[in-house]
Structure 1
Amino acid sequence: MELTQIRLLVSDFPAVYRFYRDVIGLKPQFEAEAGPYAKLSPDTGPAGIALQDRTQMAGVLEQLGVAPEGYRSLVVLRVDDLDAARAELVSRGAEFVREPGPMGDRMRVAYLEDPEGNLIELQEWVVLREQAGAGGA
């Protein structure tokens, strides 16, 4: 078995697409602002996020539950400098729901939401796992 992607089902496809492309800065595999599907990835690494129009998927399945309430997904993006990444995203219109702060002793995190309320965590690894293990017995 091979995991190929995680896909978010969204109601306002153009708004969510523009958010991940223009605000977060992910690169689309191909331009598809109108949907019903797109995959966007960072400049480095194989990971990406896929978007699927919720109504289109409902047609495929001939059903789809009501829009979820509360946080149902968490997109995690690692950055080298959390404060610089936060400042850049704010300059592009992002609003954070939690400002940068520690998460344990190995990383700092901050949180924002996409236009559909999906939670996004930005991580800055202060101490890499290899470094943390090197000092232990």
Structure 2
Amino acid sequence: MELTIHHSFLPHSDPEASLAFYRDTLGFEVRNDVGYGGMRWITVGPKGQPDTSIVLHPPAADPGVTEDERRTIAEMMAKGTYAMIVLATKDVDGVFERLQAGDAEVVQEPMDQPYGVRDCAFRDPAGNLIRIQERR
């Protein structure tokens, strides 16, 4: 059986800021942009990988989520502890320089980790942690 990742979901708190970050700073292409009832879902993905996408969605859009849960989710997003994604590149230092020049919030500069990868980390406009690992 062959499985692939089709969509992954990351919450956003400001759709325009998230769109600018993923499209303009990371260079992802926009695949879908849908609004409904005052909410907005944006699907982005790396160019050349049409079968893998990230859906940027309004947090706690499910009507079954309570107000207390919405507040908790908002607090976790603000701290950067609610969601994360790991991306890969052949040039982590070059990507770091580009993202840093684009005013992305740096969490960790490129470094060689004791578990064998070189990586760096940023936060997107919603606070989601984005780790970028170097493929060798």
Q: For residues 107 and 2 of structure 1, do their structure 2 counterparts lie closer, same or farther at Cα, with a shift above 3 Å needed?
A: closer
What is the deviation of 1:105?
5.2
**Aligned with 1:25: secondary structure?**
coil
What SS is found at the alignment partner of 2:82?
coil
1:106·1:125 contact (CA, 8 Å) conserved in 2?
Answer: no
Deviations 1:30-58 (A, max 9, x none): 45699601110011333221111237x24
The aligned residue for residue 6 of structure 1 is 8
> Which structure has greater strand proportion?
2
- The structure with the larger Rg is 1
**What SS does the corresponding residue of 2:85 show, helix, strand or coil?**
strand
Q: Which moved more, 1:32-41 or 1:89-98?
A: 32-41
Could you tell me which residue of structure 2 aligns to residue 130 of structure 1?
none
Relative CO higher for 1 or 2, CA cutoff 8 Å, sep ≥ 6? 2
**2:123·2:129 contact (CA, 8 Å) conserved in 1?**
yes
Report the equivalent of 1:107: 117
Distance change >3 Å, CA 78–CA 28, structure 1 → 2: same
Q: Which runs of 5+ in 2 are unaligned?
A: none
Match of 1:80 in 2: 90
Query: 1:15-26, aligned counterparts within 5 Å?
Result: 15-26=17-28
RMSD, aligned CA: 2.6
Compared CA separation, residues 22 and 35, structure 1 to 2 (3 A): farther
Aligned residues: 123
Q: Look up the equivalent residue of 1:44 and give its one-letter code.
A: G
Counterpart of 1:50?
A: 55
Q: What 5-or-longer segments of structure 1 have no aligned partner?
A: 127-137
Percentage identity across aligned positions?
Answer: 26
What is the TM-score normalised by the length of structure 2? 0.75
Amino acid at match of 2:91: D
Q: Helix, strand or coil: the match of 2:7? A: coil
